[in-house]
Amino acid sequence: MAVGFRILSRKRVVAGEWIERARALPVANISDVMSRIASGGATLRPMHAAGGMAGPALTVKTRPGDNLMVHKALDMAVAGDVIVVDAGGDLTNAIFGEMMLAQAARRGVAGIVIHGAIRDAAAIRANPLPVFAAGVTHRGPYKDGPGEINGPIAIGGMAIQSGDLVLGDDDGVLAVAIDDCRTVIEGAEAKQAAEAKQMAAIEAGTLDRSWVDASLRRLGCEMPEV
């Protein structure tokens, strides 16, 4: 077995129901429900025109600066997939560019995440297909391998299994394990409903803000007498 240079089969894929329900939620609310502990890192920023991303992960791990396995993942992807690439966060060579974007769009890919650099930034910025990356460089990639497809990866300490739910919006990228989707999405929906009520109270000028002073007193903050 060529550990580090192999293509595995994807055993499970997140159900479409959770993808659609997650698509209607802010990534921040889903993150809060996950105890604010999961994150792909603040360096993963949206590079595309606008819009959110949700879909099952097609994972790729490659050595920094090489995109051979990313090209293979493009050929394997099915409509709705999010190709998630752990390229070590290195920004020396671009892993993804305009030609690959066109191929991803043709395959019906729902999004691209590159823990590394892209190039052809203007073309990507003008396109609605979601692309998240850690940076931009004009220097092109190598195509020699090694790498793995459909194996476990980790980006910024966030573990991702192939088939997991991957989300992205202007606040960044987040992965939700398949077995956690029901708990997380239902919790985020409840949080979203509670925030809608809070926003209505703010607009009406009736929001109770007494918790701020109560928290300061509980924490022993010295405060002037009112």
Q: Which residues pair with 86 in a beta bridge?
A: 61, 115
What pLDDT, on the 0 to 100 scale, is given for residue 26? 97
The CB-based long-range contact list for 12-19 (8 Å cut-off, 24+ gap) reads 12/163, 12/178, 13/56, 13/163, 13/178, 14/56, 14/163, 14/164, 14/165, 14/176, 14/178, 14/181, 15/181, 18/165, 18/176, 18/181, 18/182, 18/185, 19/54, 19/55, 19/56, 19/80, 19/165
| pLDDT per residue as tens digits for the range 167-196 | 999 999 999 999 999 999 999 999 999 999
Max distance between CA atoms of the chain, in angstroms, equals 72
Could you tell me which residues are annotated as the binding site? 97-100, 119-120
Residues 6+ apart with CB under 8 A from 102: none
| pLDDT per residue as tens digits for the range 33-83 | 999 998 888 999 999 999 999 999 999 999 999 999 999 999 999 999 999
Domains of the chain: 6-187 (3.50.30.40)
Could you tell me which residues are annotated as the binding site for Mg(2+)? 120
Rounded to whole angstroms, the Cα distance separating 30 from 187 reads: 8
Confidence band, pLDDT 50/70/90 cuts, at residue 1: low
The mean pLDDT of the chain is 96
Rounded to whole angstroms, the Cα distance separating 109 from 119 reads: 19
Could you tell me which residues are annotated as the binding site for substrate? 97-100, 119
By DSSP bridging, strand 111-118 and strand 82-86 are parallel
